[in-house]
Amino acid sequence: MIKKILEDISTIDKPILKVMKIGLMVSFIFCLIAVAILSIHALNPISYTTYEIGTLLFKNGLFLFVDFFMCGFICDKLRKQRI
């Protein structure tokens, strides 16, 4: 199963792969910012709002990661079916 997933990743068209990489980098940056906010909150708990902001950013970053990954696969499959 993992071999099939790796094979599917290697056959994705270049423009779709480029958009996927950019999206994954943006979501990774969101997660890094969230971890920084959460670590600041852990060291100096000023307010509960910083914790909420950190967790929301982390959730959104993970959601974007999965979203770009799945949308890239779906767009590639649809593009190959149409051709």
User: Whole-prediction pTM value?
Assistant: 0.79
**Distance between CA atoms of residues 18 and 57, nearest Å:** 24
Give pLDDT, residue 83: 63
DSSP 28-47: HHHHHHHHHHHHHHHHS---
pLDDT over 80 at 40, yes or no = yes
User: Where are the domains positioned within the chain?
Assistant: 14-82
Taking residues 56-80, what's their average pLDDT?
91
pLDDT over 80 at 82, yes or no = no
The percent of residues above 70 in pLDDT, for the chain, comes to 99
66: confidence class by pLDDT, cuts 50, 70, 90: very high
